[in-house]
Structure 1
C-alpha cells in the first residue's frame, strides 16, 4: 500500500463565514490584490480543490478571508492500492477464462 496524500479545500466554508455566498464577490477582491482570474477560474477555485495554486493567489485569499493557509487546505492521507510487481508476494488474482461457445449439431 502506498501512502497517497489528498487535500480537502475549505475556501467555500471560509467565504461563508465572512458572509460571502457568491463566487462573483471574490473576483474583484482578488483583482485588488493583483490576482486577475476569469469568472470561470474563480468559480472553479471556489467549488473544487485546485490542482495548482500560486502563492500570490493563496496569499490574496488569506488576506481577503483573514485566515492562514491551513485554514483553507487540510491535508489528508488517502490510501490507494497499488498493483503488485511480478516479484512481490501477495494474493493472486484469478485469471480470466476464455469463453467457449458450443453450438448444437445441425445433423
Structure 2
C-alpha cells in the first residue's frame, strides 16, 4: 500500500498569533539568533512554503514563536489505493460508455 505524505507551512499563522504581522519584524529577531537573511528572503519564507529549510533556521523560528517543529510544519500521511485501469485483470470487462464507442472508417463505393 502506498502512502501519500504532505505538509503545511504554518509560519504566517503562528506569527500572527504571537503579534508579529510583517516579515520585516522577523528579520531582527532572526538576526539576534545568528540567522542573517535579507528582508526579501524572509518575505519569501513568510509568504510561501519552503521546499528546503536548514535546521538552524527551523530552531530559530521555533524559539522566536515558542512552538515546536510539529506546530510550525503540521504533516499529513494517508494511504492511497493503487488505481486499476478498466479491463485489468481476469474477468474484468473492457471500458464501458463513450470510451468503448469508436467511429467506423467510412467506405466510399463507386456509383454503380
- Scaled by the length of structure 2, the TM-score of the pair is 0.68
Q: Could you say if the C-alpha distance between residues 40 and 2 of structure 1 is closer, same or farther in structure 2, counting changes exceeding 3 Å? A: farther
Any gaps of 5 or more consecutive residues in structure 2? 88-94, 103-112
Deviation at 1:16, TM superposition (A): 0.5
SS of alignment partner, residue 26 of structure 2:
helix
* Equivalent pairs, count: 93
Larger relative contact order (CA 8 Å, sep ≥ 6): 1
Any gaps of 5 or more consecutive residues in structure 1? 98-107
- Scaled by the length of structure 1, the TM-score of the pair is 0.71
**Displacement over 3 Å in runs of 4+:** 77-82
Deviation at 1:81, TM superposition (A): 9.1
The structure having more radius of gyration, on CA atoms, is 2
User: 1:25 — aligned with what?
Assistant: 25
